[in-house]
Structure 1
Amino acid sequence: MTTTTNRRTPKRTPRTPRATPSPAPVVEEREPRGARRKRETRARLLDAALRLMAEKGMEGVAINEITEAADVGFGSFYNHFESKEAIYSTLVDNVFEEFADRLDRIAAGIADPAEVVAVSVRHTILRARQDPVWGRFLIREGFSASTLSRGLGHRLLRDLGNGIEAKRFAVADPLIGFLAVGGTVLSAIAAELNYVVPGAAATGLLAELGFNGEHLPERTAAMLLQTLGLKRAEAEKVATRPLPVAEEPLAQD
């Protein structure tokens, strides 16, 4: 007879789970004080120049006026800009080029050239309403050589050309079409800032004349689309479609 020996299986001591190492804390690199001060000084100079040049134009503003308005030493100006023309050029890029890039992002998914123009017109007037200094600078410089060669004017010429090529617009003279659209937008911005926005110098004048200043961006866009050849009903329909907004570009490392 075979004897079977009962062997006990030794109990295993449960292992203590290893602690997951905590991720290393993210240490935000602080901007060096000197770099921060330089950036802030540059921003103050640009802000002061924009306010002054919106009121008096580049030729009517002296560098010492800019530095005084920015509360910056006169000599510090040349640490950031070579000349008055250089700071003006930077402002043009900020006002015309960067906003034009934003409009391109907003209209990127729109196939109808008429809606592209309507969206651009509405956003431009709304931008001026939100920032009157920006709007007044645009009014003053809207037909400058910088506008035609780049920025908003260049994009408008392109968008009108696309509409004409697609036979969406019936424009016999593209230059006059451009002047009509650009001039109307600038006039609408001037009306918005002078008569419509709260605190404007002549808020009651439109009512005295029997006019209504409500929905000015949409009304301007509709009238311009009619000028470009659309029927009134279609122009008003296109001009009152939901207004798209831009997705901001990712920050570059």
Structure 2
Amino acid sequence: MAEKGMEGVAINEITEAADVGFGSFYNHFESKEAIHAALTDWVFEHFADTLDQLTRDLSDPAEVISVSVRHTVLRARSDPLWGQFLMREGFSSRALSRGLGRRLMRDVEKGIAAGRFVAEDPLLTVISVGGTVLGAITMQLEFESPEEPGPDPFAESGFSSDQLAERAAAVLLKTLGLSRTEAVEIAYRPLPALTLPDESA
């Protein structure tokens, strides 16, 4: 679904990839749309929970946005298939209304309430942040795995994927109203360590 979208995937492709019988699919899902909805919820809710863990000890809304943006771009770099799925579904109503979208709106509103962000329209601010992140991921995946061989148009135009996550965070913080100096300083701070719960307990 990350590569083809829901419409481009047949149920028999899903069962073959999962190595289960065709009939077994309907023991768990009533349709292809149902597995797509469950997958979208699981991917985005799980990742949103991860971001909440990463930022739980941060009091500055600007640093929360910075860490979330950087971690999202870095996750897509380390897991390109996940990045493709995020690019495909990031602006879907399901992604915007729950999981990542809902948490991003919460964090933007906290920043506005605290006087850290200057934003007249929280919804369009969320769309701007999301669009910049998805654009950075798109460029990064294309830069590192170009679909067509030959001269790299990004390199020819001076584009580099070096520290792309930090650069994206700095641009967004400036867009949200921080000074260039403060935006860059926050964007290049060390990322907090993620400690996952022990699931064997």
Q: Which bin holds the TM-score, normalised by the shorter protein?
A: over 0.9
Q: Partner of 1:180 in structure 2?
A: 128
Shift of 1:111: 0.4
Shift of 1:175: 1.6
Give the distance between the partners of 2:164 and 2:99, measured in 1 at CA: 23
Q: Partner of 1:131 in structure 2?
A: 79
Does the 8 Å contact 1:206/1:213 carry over to 2? no
Q: Is 1:206 aligned to 2:154, yes or no?
A: yes
Q: Is 1:143 aligned to 2:91, yes or no?
A: yes
Q: Is 1:158 aligned to 2:120, yes or no?
A: no
Instruction: Return the structure number with greater helix share.
Output: 2
In the alignment, which of 162, 180, 191 is matched to residue 139 of structure 2?
A: 191
Aligned amino acid, residue 160 of structure 2: N
Aligned amino acid, residue 39 of structure 2: L
Query: Unaligned regions of 5+ residues in structure 2, if any?
Result: none
TM-score (norm 2): 0.93
Give the distance between the partners of 1:122 and 1:66, measured in 2 at CA: 32
Q: Partner of 1:106 in structure 2?
A: 54
Q: Give 1 or 2 for the bigger CA radius of gyration.
A: 1
Aligned amino acid, residue 117 of structure 2: F
- 4+ residue runs over 4 A deviation: none
Q: Partner of 2:30 in structure 1?
A: 82
Give the distance between the partners of 2:7 and 2:155, measured in 1 at CA: 36
Give the distance between the partners of 2:157 and 2:147, measured in 1 at CA: 15
Instruction: Considering Cα pairs closer than 8 Å and 6+ residues apart, tell me whether 1 or 2 has the greater RCO.
Output: 2
Q: SS at 2:37's partner residue? A: helix
Q: SS at 1:91's partner residue? A: helix
Q: How many correspondences in the alignment?
A: 199
Aligned amino acid, residue 125 of structure 2: G
Identical positions, percent: 61
Give the distance between the partners of 2:137 and 2:86, measured in 1 at CA: 9
1:2-36, CA deviations, whole angstroms, 9 ceiling, x for partnerless residues? xxxxxxxxxxxxxxxxxxxxxxxxxxxxxxxxxxx
TM-score (norm 1): 0.74
